[in-house]
Amino acid sequence: MDTQFADDVLEGDGFRLSPLGPGDIEDVTSACRDEVTQRWLPLPLPYTPEVARAFVEEVAPGMRTSGAGLVRRIEVDGRLCGVIDLKKTDWRGRTTEIGYWVAPWARGRGLAGKASRVLADWALTDQDMARVVIRCATGNVPSQRAALSAGFVHEGVARSAGIVHSGRVDLEVFSKIPSDLDVA
């Protein structure tokens, strides 16, 4: 039984999902200091270059080697425009969860939805996953739109299931399973 995702580079229409590198530390720092990113993700505060360096050099590669998931940069024209990951992977149950942020300089082009579609479809086909989930706060409308545009199906609300800096939040739950690939 596989217990690690392949270290693949995935090509999308106008973007690619690739491993993070040392050249991304400055952009990760700046995107993770953004107010909207910090509103919806419980990232370290303050988000320092040292935090970004640890994320790029240790946390992200460790996600893959530990089997927990896979972290990819969303790259457009060679520049980091966001980060998307697979996390909370259950290899026995073949389930995993997608998370993402898009950098402020790249928002408004639907990148999160497009990247989620590429990553989820790869996980469901190449990596033989049975179910991919996206969960986002009830108030985070752009993220919910991204999940739907990636062909995920809304399942319902998980009450008090998430934590952001301001406290606990309900999470909208979306999923994609292999039979959705033919229709979405």
Ligand X SMILES: CC(C)(COP(=O)(O)OP(=O)(O)OC[C@H]1O[C@@H](n2cnc3c(N)ncnc32)[C@H](O)[C@@H]1OP(=O)(O)O)[C@@H](O)C(=O)NCCC(=O)NCCS
Give Cβ neighbours of residue 50 (< 8 Å, ≥ 6 apart).
Answer: none
Contact track, ligand X, 32-71, x by CB under 6 A: ----xx--xx------------------------------
Please list every residue from 85 through 104 that binds ligand X, using CB under 6 A. Answer: 100-102
* Cα–Cα nearest to 59, from 80, 98, 85, 79: 85
Minimum distance of ligand X from residue 84's CB (angstroms): 9
* SS3 at position 153: strand
Minimum distance of ligand X from residue 92's CB (angstroms): 25
Helix count and strand count (H, E) for the chain? 6, 8
Minimum distance of ligand X from residue 1's CB (angstroms): 29
The single residue among 112, 118, 119, 150 that binds ligand X, judged by CB under 6 A, is: 112
Residue 108 binding ligand X, by CB under 6 A: yes
CB nearer ligand X, residue 112 or residue 119: 112
